[in-house]
Structure 1
Amino acid sequence: MPTYRTTAVDAVHNDEELRLNLDLLEGRRERAAIREAKAKLQMTKYYNARVRGVTFSPGDFVYRSNDASHDVAGGKLGPKWEGPYEVTEALGDGAYRLRSMDGTILPRT
């Protein structure tokens, strides 16, 4: 049983409308990409306004996350941090060479 929608469609006019929609689709994609970039920029500004950069210099004492070495396997209630360690050298990009309190240099993990 044909419906009004299927009987009233004009194939030539419908093809023209589909081509027009395809032509306009690229513009919509560009606008969506611009909106996405703008939203990412706003999130970056929001994050950077609130984040606190921390740098250490040689001689500072720091704690290291237990996740890095898995030295103590205490499970859920185990210690989250280990240390204190002394920073002996700043390698750059937030990487540091650490020395334990007994004087041994910690290996890279």
Structure 2
Amino acid sequence: MIKSSNGDTPFSLTYGTEAVIPAEIGMPTLRTAEVDMVQNDESLEINLDLLEERREQAAIREAISKAKMEKYYNSKVRSTSFKPGDLMYRRNDASRAKEVGKLGPKWEGPYEVTEALGKGAYKLRDRDGKQLTRT
């Protein structure tokens, strides 16, 4: 069974019980041979009554898991920001100014930051004072 980060299978969160595969139905196993139908129906009703609570617990576990992954990711990321007047290089594949092939330079520049637009977007100009488009 494939389980997600919340510890339950999608089938069990939908229907309140684990699935029985067709191979288990045709071949007698302990799970299918000793089934009391009356008790089975009662336990299925109880599982359906408690299904919302299981879904809420699974959502809480999934949120905790996502927060843990986010914390790990954010601990490894270095944030950089540039102020107007700073010099920076720009990736060559971002501008597609010229096709240089795999042996060409990966970075082009230096460019001067003229304005910080936010979220890593900047207005740049080259050393000649010409404003760059799409930066």
**In structure 2, which of residues 85, 91, 109 is the aligned counterpart of residue 65 of structure 1?**
91
Question: TM-score w.r.t. structure 1 length?
Answer: 0.78
User: How many aligned positions are there?
Assistant: 108
2:50 paired residue number: 24
1:46 paired residue number: 72
The offset of 1:96, in angstroms, is 0.8
Encode CA deviations 1:55-101: one digit per residue, 9 max, x unaligned: 11111110111222112323333322111101111122221110011
RMSD: 2.6
Cα distance, 1:6–1:89 mapped onto 2, change above 3 Å: closer
Task: Give ranges in structure 1 of 5+ residues lacking alignment.
Answer: none
Which residues in structure 2 correspond to 1:1-109 (within 5 Å)? 9-108=35-134
Question: TM-score w.r.t. structure 2 length?
Answer: 0.65
Encode CA deviations 1:30-63: one digit per residue, 9 max, x unaligned: 2221111111112222222332221111111101
Equivalent position amino acid for 1:81 in 2: W
Identity of aligned residues (%): 67
Cα distance, 1:88–1:22 mapped onto 2, change above 3 Å: same
Runs ≥4 in structure 1, deviation > 6 angstroms? 2-8
Cα distance, 1:36–1:75 mapped onto 2, change above 3 Å: farther
Task: Give ranges in structure 2 of 5+ residues lacking alignment.
Answer: 1-27
